[in-house]
Amino acid sequence: MDEILEILSKDARRTPQEISKLCGKSPESVKKAIKEYEDGGIILQYKTVINKELLNGGRNSVRALIEVGIMPQKDLGFDSIAERIYNFPEVKSCYLVSGGYDLLVVVEGDSIQMVAEFVASKLSPMPNVRQTATHFLLKTYKEEGQIFKKSIKHKRLNISP
């Protein structure tokens, strides 16, 4: 990956001046490269990683990973079904994967019941959806390369005779 992209992927708040110092390029060339990446669809969005467990006193939305087995459509494959699924507002991410299932869908809702209702009323009844398996996320340790909580180093107690 390009050095500019590498720096931005770790901290999107870096200015072109800071990036230019880190990679030995002029600020103008960094600005031009960033603009080209944005215009070319390589940089899609600048995003903040939020520790939602610390928001609202720990009360936050519920996220689930849903494995979806689908029957590909003739002449369309997986793409048209994936598009129908990822257009639901509850769906935050959608991936084509290898293995026992075809799609991995990340869904977010206000409660377990809302996620369950999405699966039962919107996802499972879709034509070409063969099966689903829902896994609720219980705790986040690391996301987008960011560790959420530093591990606590435990001191061993001295044992005296």
pLDDT of residue 149: 75
- Whole-Å CA distances, 25 to 7, 33, 95: 13, 11, 36
**Distance of alpha carbon 161 from alpha carbon 127, whole angstroms:** 71
Nearest to 3 by CA among 27, 26, 20: 20
67 forms bridges with which residues in the sheet? 104, 133
Please state, as a whole number, how many other Cβ atoms lie within 10 Å of the Cβ of residue 68.
Answer: 25
Torsional sign, CA 80, 81, 82, 83: positive
Tokens 């999405």 correspond to 118
Let me know: does 78 contact 124? Beta carbons within 8 Å.
no
As given in the structure block, the two tokens for residue 35 are: 């603009």
pLDDT of residue 150: 61
Helix, strand, or coil (residue 104): strand
Tens place of pLDDT for every residue, the chain, 161 residues? Answer: 799 999 999 899 999 999 999 999 999 999 999 999 999 999 998 988 777 777 766 667 899 999 999 998 888 889 999 999 999 999 999 999 999 999 999 999 999 999 999 999 999 999 999 999 999 999 888 888 888 876 556 666 667 66
pLDDT of residue 151: 56
pLDDT of residue 153: 62
**Distance of alpha carbon 17 from alpha carbon 24, whole angstroms:** 10
Please state, as a whole number, how many other Cβ atoms lie within 10 Å of the Cβ of residue 26.
Answer: 11
For the entire predicted model, the pTM comes to 0.78
